Amino acid sequence: MLNTFWMILKRDLKLALRRRSEVFTVLFFFIIVVSLFPLGVGFNEKMLQEIAPGVAWIAALLASMLALERLFANDYVDGTLEQMLLTPQPLSILVFAKMTAHWLLTGLPLVLVAPVVGVLYHLEAETVITMMLMLLLGTPVLSMIGAIGAALTLGLRGGGVLISLLILPLYIPVLVYGSGAIAESRLQSGNIEPHILLLSAFLLLSLIFSPWATASALKISLE
């Protein structure tokens, strides 16, 4: 199973690197969104520090959704997905490999460019570190929940809109606790431990249930 996981992961990463424009689109979208807010609301340092947690997480949430529609679409069109269903390996392992590839291409770059938000919004180093930690915990959850929506809408016309309608309500807890931890880290008496524990719990539950749920959704979509 581990060999199969690595094979699918490497395959998806290689295919994505051949279409680098799609990979950079997510990263540039995040940077553009967080850069536009100071231009729109002004350069008041205190106000920018207050809105930074929400802006960072909303931008990350929207950026991660850009590539969701293509998560299974290409394999569906060329018949690769049907071949995966016929393999003796559990479909959930193959799906988890694709989720991991999606996070490495969309979620991890957002974690790495989070210091840009700190510079633009005048955040202290400790707050930036907290932001990177929460994004590191939260973005995999976004990828795994999004994969369920992508599987349910596979092959449907207007799938991108349907994905948004399905998964945005499920993203709200991640958004609330992720941005809440960043806001708490700015306060001297703030306690971010509950936020970290809750996001860690969401990540653990997603790791357990989302591959199975996504695999079941793919089987339904391909019937």
Domain edges within the chain: 2-222
Cβ neighbours of residue 53 under 8 Å, at least 6 residues apart? 131, 178, 179, 180, 181, 182, 183
Residue type, 112: L
Q: Which two tokens stand for residue 52?
A: 């930074």
Q: Return the closest-CA partner of residue 134 out of 159, 110, 164, 162.
A: 110
Can you tell me which residue has the tokens 């809408």? 153
Distances (CA, A) of 197 to 9, 71, 133, 181: 28, 29, 12, 11
**CA pair distance 80, 68, nearest whole angstrom:** 17
Local mean pLDDT, 10-residue blocks, the chain (223 residues): 85 84 84 89 86 90 85 82 82 91 91 89 90 93 92 76 84 92 80 91 94 90 77
- pLDDT for the residue numbered 172: 92
Nearest-Å Rg of the Cα atoms of the chain is 18
Distances (CA, A) of 218 to 7, 64, 132: 20, 20, 32
- pLDDT for the residue numbered 108: 92
- pLDDT for the residue numbered 189: 67
- pLDDT for the residue numbered 159: 65
Torsion of CA 64, 65, 70, 73, to 10 degrees: 130
